[in-house]
Amino acid sequence: MARRTLKKKTKAKAKPVPQDQPFVVKKSRIAGKGAFATRDIKKGERLIEYLGERVTHAVADARYDDHATDAHHTFLFNVNRSVIIDAYVDGNDARFINHSCDPNCESEIERGRVFIDAIRDIRKGEELNYDYAYGRDGTETEEDETDLYGCRCGTRKCRGTILEEISKAAKKRLADKAARRHHPKHTVSRKAHRHD
Ligand SMILES: C[S@@+](CC[C@H](N)C(=O)[O-])C[C@H]1O[C@@H](n2cnc3c(N)ncnc32)[C@H](O)[C@@H]1O
Ligand SMILES: [Zn+2]
């Protein structure tokens, strides 16, 4: 199963979250509801903190099954190896910001807290978005990429999937690793061959 997580980034800087949220939530042409700027926003502005229940990866995996529906849909954000924010529980409007392969925002992780910042000037009325770059675990098929995790951002740079972009070689390495997890006997025999 793919890690149902959103893109993360770590930088050491402290910016205030604005008192007046500079966007509203309404229907999006990309997916369900989205977040739309209610005023012009300057590059670098902090827009909102991504809030929700903080749970372990095991709890998040137990709560949601990617393959239970035709299209993937969760409100999870991968903070680090031990914490995932589940914005389905106690989440705020940050959870409605959709993914784009050519985004105008990015996520920032600061001391375990997640913020959404503008990475370019945004005009009033524009939809806000950032690159989810959902983590992979090697079990995703070509079909999963474009069906289950298909992207509808509609930009020229669209890569067709909300999964993270990785090279073919890295994809193969992940798939091999996943296969070894699912067939542990193969792992043993391969190791034995390498030692010969
Ligand atoms: C955190 S929610 C975003 C809010 C969502 N639009 C809603 O109304 O609940 C994340 C989910 O929205 C959908 N989504 C967001 N961006 C997308 C995109 N560019 N293409 C396809 N689906 C997208 C996917 O189902 C994803 O799992
Ligand atoms: Zn796209």
The residue nearest atom 15 of ligand 1, judged by CA position, is 98
Question: Which are the contacts of 162, defined by CB distance < 8 A and separation ≥ 6?
Answer: 72, 99, 132, 133, 134, 149, 150, 151
Q: Which of 48, 77, 99, when mutated, tests ligand 1's pocket best, judged by the most ligand atoms within 8 Å of its CB?
A: 99
The residue nearest atom 11 of ligand 1, judged by CA position, is 73
Instruction: Provide the pLDDT for residue 192.
Output: 35
Neighbours of 73 (CB within 10 A): 13
Return the structure tokens found at 194.
């390498």
pTM of the model: 0.86
Q: What is the pLDDT of residues 125-137, one digit of tens each?
A: 999 999 999 888 8
- Ligand 1 nearest atom to the CA of residue 87, by list position: 1
Across 19-169, the runs of DSSP E, i.e. the strands, are 23-27, 33-37, 46-49, 53-55, 76-78, 84-86, 98-99, 105-110, 113-118, 129-130
Q: What is the pLDDT of residues 140-180, one digit of tens each?
A: 888 888 888 999 999 999 999 999 988 888 888 888 888 88
Q: Of the given ranges (111-115, 143-147, 149-153, 187-191), which has the lowest mean pLDDT?
A: 187-191
Give strand pairing partners of 127: 36
Q: Of the given ranges (6-10, 80-84, 140-144), which has the lowest mean pLDDT?
A: 6-10
Can you tell me which residue has the tokens 């993360």? Answer: 8
Domain ranges of the chain: 25-165
Pick the CATH number of 25-165 from 2.170.270.10, 2.40.30.20, 3.40.50.1360, 3.40.50.620: 2.170.270.10
